[in-house]
Structure 1
């Protein structure tokens, strides 16, 4: 597949594959509170420990982002997705028999966390590689179809818990997770479609090498001790930008072998391979920090909803499952409708992300004040669901629309690492606030404060304005201009 054939053909099979994988592996994370509520109560696990389990899982998942660039350069999407899916299935099976805090940490946090991180790397890069102009449409379709799962899964899990308890429910969910192998089979490596282009480029380079080789031989008769200068002259005279890049790479490799005094430091190599120079861009840093802090807050609230509703509204498990399904229905409505409205109104990804945060803050404020009324709880679930659906679509597009494609794996990896670090540092504090105040009201206000910090950070850095914002990372390749501006 040539570069001008993206956004069509097999690209849509990639969307289907990513959707199948998400539907198969995400139910355990999405219904975490519903699945483990009774087991945590029987084991005497506190809110702080629950937050620790939740955010340690997120930290381990996100920590794999640091190796996303090197991993995806070495292995194909399909290979990574297969391995990640297998790890998740193994983790769910072992978590079914975990009856203590240490075993829960090992199974749910470590094993499942590693699997989720690996799967996320493959699906995210596959979508962003196969789509350029229609990336918003593809991402919207994927997250919308993925949103169908949370509508039905809470009701299914309620029935499974009633009949098979926590252990049997998790084993059945492990069987559902094996369907991720079907989705992984559809992730055909993009590199195989570009072999013809690479062969043509290689042929051109070899031809140039032969020409310059003759020149080298002629010059070497007179100046045998100046071979490095000849190579340098050859590079400087190269007019084709792409060939110059290839020759420069070869030159660097040659110098590394021939010049013993020209060894590059270990830390510099790491920084180059991981594209840590991205952190020099203050706006990119603000994007990462803002999204990480708000993600910790939003994830904690969405997963802890069963515990919050059980305490504030005194709802039983069946009622909680119904509320979660209603919220999921509002979620998918937001995923379907908001992107269409945004396209017509010209709203930007970052602005819509901020609006979704403000919607979540409003919902939590209402819940913490009038959460003892079932009607209010239903209304809050609709508000939070719409905000969650909006956020699900546009949070995945903010970084891809800001950085060029060749830096995307590393840029996303840095974000994941930041997510993980802040998750394990800030996340348990939310549970600690609950344990200190002995209710979820204070925890809800603290969560809203975290989300509001993203709005404040983006406001002072110029990333969020009421109008359009076309900011992008500078020094990108010309071919990446086809990306849609944020």
Structure 2
């Protein structure tokens, strides 16, 4: 057996004669072509966001002519962001299968097609299809793929690269409001959006610059033992010997019999854990991918002893039998049970079969639910701190994004011209951009907590909306816009850092997936309510206060979490002190 294992290793094949894949990992360039990736990611996002962030500025007057009210307008925008966020659940497998270059390319194409079609529609349901659904899917593809591309090419300089890419993206809401306002004076709404769609097509060649990492990175093998055929053969032989010993041990050690199942104990579990990884992992494009069939528990075959397949205890209705027998007495015990249970089986065979089918259906349902829970990593919700921060993040994100979508309508509600509204939006975006550059240096120097800084940003935004609800005058609102930009900069930076600060790295992807799914659902349910409130009031004051309630709710939830955590630590310290 050892010789055959060694021979298989030398030939580069496994025991089934199939080629053995080598585990490799790439070394991120941290520069070089990575800076082209940064430029391409920034430009892709810069062009694709041109219409998303200025939809209300372009369509405000036209929507009234087409009898599309504020509630329907909110549905259009929130459905787009809902689809964009809910796609996070499938983006991982899609990016592994197709790569970030293809995903970004097709996302850019979808956004451009969506914008071109949107320029020709004037009905609510057509906006939902061509703008919200198609455009939302495209935005989700682009955002996920460009983020993955930067994280793939950079490791040590990832923060710098991400900052530069975000800076390029942040220029979009600074430049485009002015440009689109000028277009709006020269063309009608259809022509303006069609020209914007043509400009957005620059994102397509930018996405093609996102080369796969294999073209520009060096690779190294994982582990030195794989390069040594003798060591690889020894490992295979050791695995085979342990498997043989495990089967032989089942013939002499006590086996617990209950309902026809055998509990092999911890040795079998540890064996599976230690030896399932080489079969569950393979490499595709430099990424280590886990085989979902093993990870999600689809491999549900249970081992049996050498003779346990002769008679099935389930078929004999011995679900109440529970005893421990040595393997040498196993067959004899089964024969005794068979004689005792035969009359009952003859009397109620249909009831036993129905009960067996019912149990199988129940077990299958439970297994499916467990796989779904494992896939989404719902066990994270058992952690009280994560749950409270998760709820607060969902409340805050829903309110803040809806304010960003409604900002142009709020400014237009003051009666300002399009030129003044464009200046207000550009001022907000410019201060936001400057804040993104300056605040990280300050927080890194003083080592401030991400959740605290995020809460500070929310406080800036909440107070800014209160001022926006009660003040007037162009210069005053311009100053309020700058204040809101300051808060938005804080929020944008630290929103992405809260989850990594409380969740282990191996759980971060699952936590982010849960968060994006919750955000998508909240957009779809809560977002249209803000538009409905505006339709049933004279201005946006009630809407601004409603958004502030979400912000205040998030901060209150986080304060309660801190208080509960400190009380729990105080009680634990008191118990330890009393025990000592």
TM, length-normalised to structure 2: 0.70
The equivalent residue for 2:539 is 439
After superposition, the Cα gap between the structure-2 partners of 1:217 and 1:296, relative to the gap in structure 1 and judged at 3 Å, is closer
Aligned residues: 459
Matched, 1:353 2:454: yes
Matched, 1:342 2:450: no
Matched, 1:448 2:472: no
Secondary structure (helix, strand or coil) at the match of 1:99 reads: coil
Question: Following the alignment from structure 2 to structure 1, what is the Cα–Cα distance between the partners of residues 250 and 526?
Answer: 63
Secondary structure (helix, strand or coil) at the match of 1:139 reads: helix
Matched, 1:409 2:452: no
Matched, 1:294 2:399: no
The equivalent residue for 1:161 is 184
**Matched ranges for 1:33-432 at <5 A:** 33-190=56-213, 193=217, 196-198=220-222, 207=233, 209-212=235-238, 215=241, 236=270, 246-247=277-278, 249=280, 256=299, 259=302, 265-311=367-413, 313-371=414-472, 373-432=473-532
Question: Following the alignment from structure 2 to structure 1, what is the Cα–Cα distance between the partners of residues 502 and 213?
Answer: 22
Secondary structure (helix, strand or coil) at the match of 2:496 reads: coil
- 8 Å contact 1:85–1:119 — kept in the other structure? yes
Question: Following the alignment from structure 2 to structure 1, what is the Cα–Cα distance between the partners of residues 214 and 207?
Answer: 16
- 8 Å contact 1:290–1:457 — kept in the other structure? yes
Give me the CA root mean square deviation.
3.7
Q: Deviations over 1:103-158 (max 9, x none)?
A: 01111111101111122222233344444554443333222221111111001001
Secondary structure (helix, strand or coil) at the match of 1:187 reads: coil
More displaced, 288-297 or 147-156?
A: 288-297
In structure 1, list runs of 5 or more residues that go unmatched.
Answer: 466-486
Secondary structure (helix, strand or coil) at the match of 1:397 reads: helix
Report the CA distance between 1:223 and its aligned residue.
Answer: 8.8
Secondary structure (helix, strand or coil) at the match of 1:437 reads: coil
More helix by share: 1
Secondary structure (helix, strand or coil) at the match of 2:499 reads: coil
The equivalent residue for 1:480 is none
- 8 Å contact 1:283–1:463 — kept in the other structure? no
TM, length-normalised to structure 1: 0.83
More displaced, 61-70 or 185-194?
A: 185-194
Higher relative contact order (CA 8 A, sep 6+): 1
More displaced, 406-415 or 255-264?
A: 255-264
Secondary structure (helix, strand or coil) at the match of 1:314 reads: coil
After superposition, the Cα gap between the structure-2 partners of 1:168 and 1:433, relative to the gap in structure 1 and judged at 3 Å, is same
More displaced, 137-146 or 193-202?
A: 193-202
Question: Following the alignment from structure 2 to structure 1, what is the Cα–Cα distance between the partners of residues 132 and 241?
Answer: 61
- 8 Å contact 1:351–1:464 — kept in the other structure? no
Question: Following the alignment from structure 2 to structure 1, what is the Cα–Cα distance between the partners of residues 564 and 477?
Answer: 31
- 8 Å contact 1:128–1:400 — kept in the other structure? no
The equivalent residue for 2:324 is none
Question: Following the alignment from structure 1 to structure 2, what is the Cα–Cα distance between the partners of residues 425 and 109?
Answer: 15
After superposition, the Cα gap between the structure-2 partners of 1:221 and 1:403, relative to the gap in structure 1 and judged at 3 Å, is closer
After superposition, the Cα gap between the structure-2 partners of 1:369 and 1:195, relative to the gap in structure 1 and judged at 3 Å, is same
The equivalent residue for 1:32 is 55
Secondary structure (helix, strand or coil) at the match of 2:448 reads: coil
Question: Following the alignment from structure 1 to structure 2, what is the Cα–Cα distance between the partners of residues 128 and 95?
Answer: 33
